Amino acid sequence: MQFKPPTYSAPYGVASPAHVAHVAHVARADGSEHWRPVVPRFVLSTLLASGALCLAGVAGAPGSARSEPLLALAVNAVAVLHYWFILQVRMRPSGHTTADEQHVDELRHGDWACTLFFLYLHFHASAARLGAPEPPLFSGLVGALLQPVLVLLGAIGRFLGDELRARGWRRWLGVASYPLSCVLFGLALYNVLDCLLRVPESAVRVGEPHAAHAARASALEPLRAVDAARLLAALALAQLGYPILALLQVCWRACEPDDARSRERWPLLGWGRSPAAPPEAVASPAPYPERLSELKDLGYGLLDMVVKGGVALYSGLLG
């Protein structure tokens, strides 16, 4: 009988389709990987519920006050659509792969490019109706148009720069795109926060007298204009979690090994050592860290529920 030496392509390189199928079967048998679709499924359910309440708010709002609920509904609808596709990726039997992670991040950036545009239109339209002064830096439309630009800059750092792990000019392009994206994000966020936080105590909703607003088919009592502005400011401020999580991604991957041979010398953030690769093993690019992928699912899902779902709930119940 001819002896066949063992191969190390699955542990130390790119896994073969047979190995991937075997790992997926074993993982689903003991339940260790079955929870990956849980987070996007929960976020999707939450956004569907908040979208239904927002739709009820659109139906109950007077004609002069429907623009804000419609914008919030657009934010929610786009997020629901993208989380549906993210859920399909996380439910694949192949389990976690680098290609899956790139696909999910592409969906996330496409979601942000659309939802942030509508979100900032909603913030500025709500601020104007609550009696806020004019934005200090630029108009609300300019602030909304900046959102796809800063998302594009972040996408350059994520995909072209590979979160600053690419070589040569692509890494330096990522080094430049990330800070510029953060600067634009900060300017747009300051522009809307300044409006919302300068709503006077005595302000009333423009175009909607208090009696007419109280007669709306709303589940809760209407908020004062200044309280509504503070609530919207808190939702806008929660967006700081997005660049913080992106910075964590870059720092995490900066601590990752470049290839399979270096895994013994540079373990994953000290979370345990991989067995030493044999000398005959060919170095291959390290896969995307699975723990980081899980953290991104949880972190971005929580942020989307708070910001996008929160805006939908505000428009449906309190707006």
Tell me if 287 sits within 8 A of 94, measured CB to CB.
Answer: no
- Per-residue confidence (pLDDT) for residue 116, from 0 to 100: 96
Q: How far apart are CA 197 and CA 307, in angstroms?
A: 18
To the nearest whole percent, how much of the chain has pLDDT over 70? 71
Domains defined for the chain, CATH in brackets: 40-276+284-318 (1.20.1070.10)
Tell me if 148 sits within 8 A of 113, measured CB to CB.
Answer: yes
Tokens (6 digits) for 134: 């004019």
- Per-residue confidence (pLDDT) for residue 76, from 0 to 100: 95
Mean pLDDT of the region 187-207: 83
Q: How far apart are CA 218 and CA 318, in angstroms?
A: 7
Q: How far apart are CA 136 and CA 139, in angstroms?
A: 8
Tell me if 284 sits within 8 A of 260, measured CB to CB.
Answer: yes
Pairwise pLDDT comparison (36 vs 232), residue with the higher score = 232
Q: How far apart are CA 44 and CA 132, in angstroms?
A: 33
- Per-residue confidence (pLDDT) for residue 316, from 0 to 100: 85
**pLDDT tens-digit map of 220-275:** 456 688 889 999 999 999 999 999 999 999 999 888 766 544 444 444 343 434 44
Alpha helices in 198-289 (DSSP H): 210-214, 225-237, 241-254
Q: 3-class secondary structure for 2-58?
A: CCCCCCCHHHHCCCCHHHHHHHHHHHHHHCCCCCCCHHHHHHHHHHHHHHHHHHHHH
Tokens (6 digits) for 33: 């990987």
**pLDDT tens-digit map of 81-93:** 999 999 999 998 7
Residue that is written with structure tokens 């790119």 in the block: 14
State yes or no: pLDDT of 39 exceeds 90.
Answer: yes
Pairwise pLDDT comparison (155 vs 32), residue with the higher score = 155
Tokens (6 digits) for 24: 């997926």
Pairwise pLDDT comparison (211 vs 315), residue with the higher score = 315
**Residue 304 neighbours by CB under 8 Å, 6+ apart:** 43, 47, 79, 83
